[in-house]
Structure 1
Amino acid sequence: MNNELPLQLYKANAELQLQINRLLQESGRHWLDAMQQINTSRVLESGMRIQGLQQAADWQALATLPAELFWRMCQGQVGDGRELGEAAAKTQAAFADGLREALLAWQQSVSEAFGASGDPASAARIYQQWMQPWAGLAAGPQDDGKKQGGRS
């Protein structure tokens, strides 16, 4: 039996945690970038609208602006929603792929720690040998059939 098994398992679990934390940070950064891009385009569009209003000389055309602005804003929000959906799909796919790779690497590390080299039967046998000293503890306290402090 491998005497360094607890240390190898700890290392495999720590590496998995580090990978998951890195994936979460990358995912958060992608979301932040997407939101920043959407907000930047909205600020630029609003600035152009304000500039257009300041230069308006036709008061009748200016009176129709609220309706036109409403439809432009609706169309812009549909576009923003589409961009946000695309960003969400890309971010989620990248996270899922990274998580799958991290779990496969963890599974390989744990298999190597148990000396199984990917053989599930060998891994199970080594795991059972390693857990044998604690088997009695996992069963919990033995019940002698008597109920304590109460009615039957």
Structure 2
Amino acid sequence: MQAIALPSPQLPIKLIQAQLALWLKSSELWQESRERTLLLGMQALHRIITETQAEVDEVATAQDWQSLATLPAHAFRRCINAQLAEVQSVAEQLLAHQTELAQGCQLALGNWQRATSEACRQAGKPA
């Protein structure tokens, strides 16, 4: 009867280390993505608040009823144009952030795969 070869005692440790490295890198990537997205949202909100404040200031400084009456149409047009440009800019930046996140995840998975493959290969070698 032939004895069954047991894997290297280091295999479980190396597999756990590879798994933890993947988990840590993934957590880091997701945290960075959240921070970038929050910053982007805060910047967009700040620009919107600034534009709104400018519109309010324009209403507050209107000198007569006729200039006050034309403000809503002008404000609406400026608002729509600004919002469309803002949405497009934010969408492009978010897409770039998501692409970077996906590339980082692919790299982390590749590193995990290499580490686990190497641990299994080394465990298969006789000591």
TM-score range, shorter chain: 0.7 to 0.9
Aligned to 2:81: 75
Give the structure, 1 or 2, with the largest relative contact order (CA under 8 Å, sep 6 or more): 2
Pair 1:10-2:16 in alignment: yes
Residues in 1 aligned to 2:104 and 2:117: alpha-carbon distance in whole angstroms: 20
- What does the per-residue CA deviation read over 1:5-58, in whole Å, with 9 as the maximum and x for residues that have no partner? 011101101110111111111111111011011000011111111112111113
Percent identity over the alignment?
Answer: 32
Aligned to 1:105: 111
With 91-100 and 54-63 compared, the bigger mean Cα shift is at 54-63
Partner SS for 1:87:
helix
- What does the per-residue CA deviation read over 1:59-84, in whole Å, with 9 as the maximum and x for residues that have no partner? 20210111111111111110111112
TM-score when normalising by structure 1:
0.72
Task: Say what the alpha-carbon RMSD is for the aligned residues.
Answer: 1.5
Q: Which runs of 5+ in 1 are unaligned?
A: 117-122, 127-152
TM-score when normalising by structure 2:
0.86
Kindly tell me the number of residue pairs found equivalent between the two proteins.
118
- Counterpart residue type for residue 55 of structure 1: T
Name which one, 1 or 2, has greater alpha-carbon Rg. 1
Q: Could you list the structure 1 runs, at least 4 aligned residues long, displaced by more than 2 angstroms after superposition.
A: none
